[in-house]
Amino acid sequence: MCGIAGKISTGGPVDPELLARMCEVIEHRGPDSRGTFVEEGVGLGVQRLAIIDLETGDQPIFNEDETVVVVLNGEIYNYRELREELAAQGHRFRSRTDTEVIVHLYEELGDDCVDRLRGMFAFALWDRGRRRLLLARDRVGKKPLFYRAAGGALWFGSEAKSILQDPEVSREIDLDAIDSFLHFQYVPHPKSAFSALRKLPPAHLLVWEDGRVVTRRYWKLSYAPDDRYSSESEIHERLRDELLDATRLRLRSDVPLGAFLSGGVDSSAVVAAMARLSSRPVKTFSIGFDVEAFDETLYAREIAELFGTDHHEFRVEPKAMEILPKLVWHYGEPFADQSAIPSFYLAELTRRHVTVALNGDGGDESFAGYDRYPRNAFVHRMRWVPRPLLKGASHMLERIDPGREPRSLRARLRRRAQALALEPWDRYSMWMAYFTERERADLYTPEFRAALGTDRTAPSMIRDLYLGSDATGFVDRLLDVDVNSYLPGDLLVKMDIATMAHSLEVRSPLLDHRFMEIAARLPAAAKLHRLNTKHVFKNAMRAWLPDRILDRGKMGFGVPIGDWFRGALRELPGEVLLDPRSLRRGFFRQDAVRGLIDRHAAGAEDNANKIWALLQLELWLRTYVDASAPAPVAMSI
């Protein structure tokens, strides 16, 4: 696991001092060593976190005659099998690192080398003979990759802050990206919060040659039905076998290794698989809260005791918000997923004991684990009702006061009322919104709306993904949408930044692309069975896990931010968002912002998500746009 950065130019040499700055600002991603490669018009850099081959695995890595050079962020889990195959074909290896298989695979297959890689990765490969750069990002987007192409030059980096080290690169914000952030709580690829930067989408290649840039997609999940299974028990056995195989590959490490354990289905399944494959007790790590509705430590302890793990816990309290400036600096873009807070602390706790941790990311997107899937499916089944009747019912139900609790019956009825008359993609987009289209219109000043224009990403992104899916069923289409939006844009960003901030590598067996391919092609009814989420996966895991864990309600990994904003942190939103510095930006109507804060504080509404998103945006602006050199801003909490 590492951080990579670089610049390619047709206009002259790359400044080695610039390359050093690009690496230094992401040193937290790889504190063990720094490697650079510089020749005319080319500069590649890497900060290495040593996981495999601690002695001879430093990067950059070359092929035999040094005509191909690569820097890698990530891990290639099947490197041993690829190494054996390539050695049999006559390739000579200088190290035992997984990175080296990439240069030799490229010699054999060219750009198609990515098809053979099983892992998480973002790499830059320079073909010196052809003066050609290949950038590649893994299939589901576990490893990030930003880039800028302008004037025949190309900059790239694991984080935006690397590219921003070049004074040639503007920090002008992308207003459409800000609008999308307020909708989704993250900036979706290929956009960046900075107008000058882009994100290479998951499962994509980028080729730079003679100053020209071409991108293409090399992989996509298919939801076409797989009819090979004769019984559900056969499916269960296949899922367990594939999970064991994906976990076995992710246990390859030359440094201490453990697991995140929430006590939910997915993390418990991964720990169960690890326990079956490990000769020593698995080290497990959990986060808890003093607010019972958010605390899962009881379940985590139950799994820890069941499998005899070496278990560690950490509790998060309101004072945890003291890390907010540091959080904003590390994420580098506006990012409003509140679970970044416990993720950040969990990574810090875990890194005290191990360098690698496995987690349960990906299970919900493969097996329909979120509550929004059955809720949307229920509304979707009402599509036979004539549209005028749906619109009438929608108008009547919209008059319901949503109340202060977002999961209350009144709040759920109101959301469903708003969704009744919408197209399925617009309904899902509304369900995913922090600020809906209507709410953003009420929030924005006339000047900001005018500057934003009409060509916007947020209203169309979910529609395009929904209509572009090969899934025939409604639920599978939603899963396909999430695999291509919420998963890489939110969950994987959250985990990558939180863990890399503490030089911790996280591996996710449920995001193994072969495991995901099997899950995608299972019948939708096996994933969402009536109102039962993750039906087939839970039943497969009954051979390993107790019913009490498998059948309890999903809690997620949130924080009691709503309670904090009415209690210990009651003054924080107003102090930041109604500060003259914030209001002078002219983005949001002062009365609209004040109303959100006041109604939340009074308990009339639950606006915690909206307030949190606005806080994240304002602190990001202060950190990355206002400041001459980005650094965590000073705050009193």
Please tell me the number of Cα atoms within 13 Å of 186 on its side-chain side: 21
Please, which residues have CB within 8 angstroms of residue 87's CB and are 6 or more apart in sequence?
A: 93
Of residues 320, 212, 317, 303, the one with CA closest to residue 262: 303
Strands 61-62 and 68-76: antiparallel
Euclidean distance between CA atoms 528 and 384, whole angstroms: 21
Residue 576, H or E segment: helix 572-577
| 23 a catalytic residue | no
SS (H, E, C) 434-448: CCCHHHHHHHECHHH
* Closest-CA residue to 269 (of 293, 239, 295, 291): 239
Residues found in the chain: 637
3-state secondary structure 252-303: CCCCCEEEECCCCHHHHHHHHHHHHHCCCCCEEEEEEECCHHHCCHHHHHHH
Rounded to whole angstroms, how far apart are CA atoms 133 and 129? 11
Tokens 């004539």 belong to: 386
Contact 456, 183 (CB under 8 A): no
Cα–Cα distance list, 496 to 50, 110, 198, 560 (Å): 16, 28, 18, 23
Compute the half-sphere exposure of residue 541: CA atoms within 13 Å on the CB side of its CA: 25
How many angstroms separate the CA atoms of 115 and 13, rounded? 33
CA atoms within 13 A on the CB side of 319: 1
Catalytic residue among 1, 2, 270, 498: 2
Rounded CA-CA distance 235/269 in Å is 16
Measured distance CA(222)–CA(584) in Å, rounded: 48
Strands of 77-200, DSSP E: 119-127, 132-137, 146-150, 153-157, 198-199
Distance of CA 551 to the CA centre of its chain: 26
Q: Token digits for 388?
A: 């005028």
The residues annotated as belonging to the active site are: 2
